[in-house]
C-alpha cells in the first residue's frame, strides 16, 4: 500500500564522508531518493528530504527527513513525515545497519489514516545504495 523507501541507512556507512561534504544522496531498490542536507558531526543528527518511490501511491512526493547516525554501531534511525497536507500524509520510522560504505538494509514502519478514517500500519525492509 503506502510503501516508502529510504536510502538513509547508507548514510551510516559514509557518515564521515557525508559530514565532510554536508550532502549525501541515496536511492532505494524501489527508486525512492533520500537527500541529506545537514549532518551534525558532534551528535550524529541529520536532516533532509525524502522523495517517494516513482511507482508507489504518492510518486515523487516530498517528505521531511530527520534522524540520527550511531557510527560506532553502524546504525541509523530516522523518520520521514508529511503532516502539512492530508494528501499522502504518512509518517514512517526507519531503522537499520550499513552493510558497507555504499549499501545498507533498513526496516520501516509506516502509519497513515485511510480515507475511511481507519489508522493503517504497514512495514517492510529496503536495501539502499549511495549514488
pLDDT digits (tens, 9 = 90+) for 4-13: 333 333 343 3
| Angle made by CA atoms 113, 65, 58, in degrees to the nearest 5 | 45
pLDDT tens readout for residues 100-109: 778 889 999 9
Mean pLDDT of all residues in 115-127 = 93
SS3 state of residue 43: coil
- Can you name the CATH fold of 10-130? Lipocalin (2.40.128)
Specify the higher pLDDT residue, 39 or 95.
95
Start-end of H helices in the chain: 10-13, 15-21
Label residue 121 by pLDDT band (50, 70, 90): very high
- Give the domain ranges of the chain: 10-130
Amino acid at each position: 500500500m503506502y510503501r516508502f523507501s529510504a536510502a538513509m541507512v547508507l548514510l551510516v556507512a559514509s557518515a564521515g564522508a557525508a559530514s565532510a561534504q554536508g550532502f549525501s544522496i541515496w536511492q532505494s531498490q524501489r527508486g525512492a531518493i533520500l537527500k541529506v542536507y545537514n549532518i551534525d558531526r558532534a551528535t550524529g543528527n541529520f536532516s533532509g528530504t525524502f522523495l517517494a518511490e516513482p511507482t508507489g501511491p504518492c510518486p515523487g512526493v516530498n517528505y521531511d527527513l530527520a534522524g540520527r547516525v550511531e557510527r560506532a554501531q553502524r546504525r541509523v534511525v530516522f523518520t520521514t513525515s508529511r503532516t502539512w497536507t492530508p494528501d499522502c500524509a504518512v509518517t514512517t520510522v526507519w531503522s537499520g545497519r550499513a552493510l558497507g560504505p555504499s549499501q545498507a538494509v533498513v526496516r520501516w514502519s509506516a502509519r497513515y489514516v485511510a480515507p475511511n478514517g481507519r489508522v493503517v500500519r504497514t512495514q517492510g525492509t529496503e536495501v539502499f545504495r549511495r549514488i
